[in-house]
Structure 1
Amino acid sequence: MSRAWTDNTLLQKETRLTTGLRCSGIGGCVCARHGVVRRQGLGDLKKGERYANMDYILLSALLGVTLLAITISYDIACQWKIHLSTRAEKIKDDSELATDLGSFEIQFALPVWHAAAHEITCQTQNSLSYTTGVGRTDGEGIERT
């Protein structure tokens, strides 16, 4: 599964181009191998891309999934994954989403093209190119979609 969003959303999050708009972009979950959008895997972004929006979209897309392991490719996975489980617990407590991230074995990775924008140590630790079980998946399917 690949998670990402358009780079323009970050660039335009506080500009006059988005002033007064109800949403500044979309975030989504797309199968990195097949390009299929996950059920309940798209959502509006308010004021740019925030962890809360992407967390909610991920939890919605994983609702009812019976997988044992999942790889999440996201262009800021190195930062976003740090407190994801804590944020997910808060969302689970405050909403109808009962997705328990603890029930999955989760790998996080940077999409191949986006990894080039990260520091070398981050690239080597988090690149999808070095992730077990993903073959030659580039993780950029969300960008093509």
Structure 2
Amino acid sequence: PTGVGDLQRGKKFTNMDYILYSSISGTEAQSLDISYGISCIWIKNAKTRIEKLPPEMRDQVSSINIRPLIPKFHLAAHIQTCQSPFAWNLLPGCAQADGEEIERVWAGHNDVGKSTKEMALGHRWDVLDSFFGNWNWRKYLKFGMPSVVLD
């Protein structure tokens, strides 16, 4: 919810853990629903990987109850035994959510990734920060607006 991370190559769990736990450390949340396309695999050894985090981060996140979910669009591609435990439709408080928000963000940001690929690191971060800030500002301006306007 509060950050974006660079991945060296692919979605390595170590990187994903650090990005996720960095973004939630300092929060007062007691529970958190995580939407991740491979939650069923990621959660299996998450507790073991948490032990390898820096102590200050580990202490902050170890008390948060994390409920892993698979985004609705991705769910059908998983084997049957993964579908029910990680389905948004079957968990209290989640039925109307789809867990695909991050995909909507990336769809709008794919081009900026291509244009920042060759930039120096500091410049790249500044451009991405500006781009995400603009994205969030446009989202903020739409809060409270109806998603469908009928004539």
Give the structure-2-normalised TM-score.
0.64
When you count strand as a share of all residues, which structure comes out higher? Answer: 1
1:85 corresponds to which of 47, 71, 94:
47
After TM superposition, where is structure 1 displaced by more than 2 Å over at least 4 residues in a row?
96-102
2:22 corresponds to which of 56, 60, 67:
60
1:127 corresponds to which of 74, 79, 87:
87
CA RMSD of aligned residues (A): 1.5
- Partner Cα separation in structure 1 for residue 52 and residue 42 of structure 2: 15
Q: What is the deviation of 1:101?
A: 3.1
When you count helix as a share of all residues, which structure comes out higher? Answer: 2
Counterparts of residues 1-145 of structure 1 (less than 5 Å): 38-39=1-2, 41-93=3-55, 97-145=57-105
Q: Which one-letter code corresponds to 1:64 in the other structure?
A: G
User: Kindly, what percent of the aligned residue pairs are identical?
Assistant: 39
Contact 1:92/1:98, CA 8 A, preserved across alignment: yes
Q: What is the deviation of 1:97?
A: 2.9
SS at match of 2:53: helix
Give the structure-1-normalised TM-score.
0.67
Structure 1: runs of 5+ lacking an equivalent: 1-37
Q: How many residues align?
A: 105
